[in-house]
Amino acid sequence: MRKYVLIGASAFVLGAGSMAYVSQEALASSKPRAQTYKMLELFGDVLDTVERQYVTQVDDRKLIEAAIDGMLNSLDPHSGYLNPDSFDDMRDQTRGEYGGLGIEVTSEDGVVKVISPMDDTPAHKAGVKAGDYITAVNGESVLGLSVNEAVKQMRGRPGEAVTLTIAREKTEPFDVKIVREVIKPRSATARVEGDYGYLRISAFNEKTTDEAQAALADLRAKNPKMKGLVLDLRNNPGGLLDQAVGVADLFLEGGEIVSQRGRDPRDIERYNARPGDAVGGLPMVVLINDGSASAAEIVAGALQDRKRAEVVGLTSFGKGSVQTVIPLRGGMDGALKLTTARYYTPSGRSIQQTGISPDLEVAESREQAQRIANRSFQFSEASFRNALNAEEGKKRIGAHEPAEAPPESFDAKDDFQLARAKDVLRYGSVAATPKLPKPAPKMAAVVAPKTAAAGVPPSEKK
């Protein structure tokens, strides 16, 4: 009996201690909560002042929506508020059919920036490129607008034209006239490339895994003696996580594909592959570049870590964060798009900011190789001032020796990165592939004028 009494007494003491701790914690947390209520009161005062004194009549709903969106945007570039119309647009886009131009955009310091144009869409055909800034739509400035507001101006009825004003590195701003279409991007297409197969995945929507599986089956039927496969994820802005997992699963026999980890260290969700390889274990090369983001990086990282494929191209965009869409009142009040976790490759690498580094770095042109050398206009997740931090202080690779680039004799109309991917398949590995001489870097330098005497600063020279 004494034993049970002691156990009961111990339980009581622990319980009392816990209650005391909770009480102290409640007192400690009441101060921040009181501050929160004070700031909410301040928000109400500001809204009231704007309503009464602004030079023209205001729309309360728009003001509050903008305030919510601004609050979320301050957290990181990918969190935001979707009003009911924007929420419907997002659902249309993930279903793989919607009206528009076919570009993935984000916002940086109030400027709309192109992450990537989608294959065979009006924007892609018009020459819009990753990293372009969109400064105006139909002559109306979009500077300072949220992404949702800017996108709303770009979308409209199919068949109608829209003019985008583009700012691009080393060029004067220029206008591009684009005719809107109903965007039905086929996210996965395939073709025969000599002895090899080529699978292009341009985005990850609800149809991607099924389309990729069908494209691979058709490819193997057309070329039963196929010796290897190139999976092209260049300029793929990402999309749905389950589709990234599905595509990676097509080529893996089992094991982890990706994990996502939230604020709580115990909050880990792992996604694993099932048995079965759609190409029967054939050698693979994955093509990536700085326009490959999010879901595309998950696939590339999984196949690289699991030694299923080697990666050729340029370091990917570095968007390694998970956004959860949280409907408000069932979507009647729109939804929150909130960053809730980070992605990790099977080896435990965080994709955030650093991206996926290729096994063989290959630039698509000599000009691009030069930009890598002097780091001129390297648009990536790390470019955003409020980007979620990379894990453990890791940093994205900066300016470095130029990557392989097309030799002078290479036909500019051909795809040099794809040619090198096929070389890797032909030789069996990156290590066995003969390396091409890299172009000499032309690093910008400031050279001080010579002085008459050592130790005398130029400004003091008489």
Provide the annotated active-site residues. Answer: 294, 305, 319
Query: How far is Cα 1 from Cα 281, in angstroms, rounded to an integer?
Result: 67
The pair phi, psi for residue 199, each rounded to 5°, is -115, 120
How far lies 118's CA from each of 203, 227, 253, in Å?
7, 29, 30
Residue 284 β-bridge partners:
229
Q: In this structure, what token pair is assigned to residue 272?
A: 């694993």
Complete DSSP assignment for 44-104: HHHHHHHHHHSSS---HHHHHHHHHHHHHHTT-TT-EEE-HHHHHHHHHHHTT-EEE--EE
Query: How far is Cα 330 from Cα 346, in angstroms, rounded to an integer?
Result: 35
Torsion of CA 328, 332, 334, 340, to 10 degrees: 20
**Nearest partner of 219 among 242, 236, 250, 196, judged by Cα:** 196
Strands in 196-201's sheet, in edge-to-edge order, are 188-193, 196-201, 228-232, 284-288, 310-313, 360-361
DSSP 427: H
**Nearest partner of 375 among 400, 352, 405, 394, judged by Cα:** 400
| E strand intervals along 109-195 | 111-117, 133-137, 140-141, 161-167, 174-179, 181-183, 188-193
Amino acid at 262: G
Distance from chain centroid for Cα 145 = 20
How far lies 321's CA from each of 24, 209, 264, 295, 436, in Å?
35, 21, 15, 10, 35
Distance from chain centroid for Cα 315 = 12
| CB 297, CB 317: distance < 8 Å | yes
Torsion of CA 387, 60, 331, 158, to 10 degrees: -80
Query: How far is Cα 172 from Cα 25, in angstroms, rounded to an integer?
Result: 58
* Token pair 């009441």: residue: 30
**Nearest partner of 360 among 250, 247, 436, judged by Cα:** 436
